[in-house]
Amino acid sequence: MQNLQNEQISFDYMSAFEILHPSLIMKCRKLFENGHFSESAEKGFKVVRDRLRDLTGFENGSDAFGRGRLQVLGATAKNVESDFHDAVQFLTMSIDKFRNEKAHTANAKITDPKRAYAYLQLSNLAMLLLDNATITNVSS
């Protein structure tokens, strides 16, 4: 039986970039390719914040979903729309916290491409979900 813990698994990150949201490819790929993993991950978080600002005028998840009245379509069923909405809101709020943690210290270096790509995947999920976003109207 092979020992999987000792087996080196290679992953072609450059090909994997092709499945990311176009905004992330445009803004983060070169940084990642050049080994600037921290900057690439942080830029991905900023891309999400920029999208929230474009949609609602607010750049953080809490305000975008609260005061900005952001709704994201895509729940699998009507009875879980609230859970889906909350999950997307918490995802964007998590991205806010990860970005703050990376942006407010000089020691937030990511040297592992796997970790940097995982952060980009978080941003990717948020961007794909935000592609189905709408603003709810306030009832009079």
Identify whether 3 is part of a domain.
Answer: no
Distance of CA 16 to the CA centre of its chain: 15
Identify whether 4 is part of a domain.
Answer: no
For 121, the domain range is 24-105+115-135
Query: What is the per-residue pLDDT for 10?
Result: 60
Query: What is the per-residue pLDDT for 115?
Result: 93
Identify whether 44 is part of a domain.
Answer: yes
Number of structural domains the chain divides into: 1
Identify whether 16 is part of a domain.
Answer: no
**H/E element, 48:** helix 37-56
DSSP characters over 57-125: S--SHHHHHTTT-EEE---SSGGGHHHHHHHHHHHHHHHHHHHHHHHT-TT-----HHHHHHHHHHHHH
Identify whether 11 is part of a domain.
Answer: no
Low-confidence ranges of the chain (pLDDT < 70): 1-11, 138-140
As a whole-number percent, the residues of the chain with pLDDT over 70 amount to 90
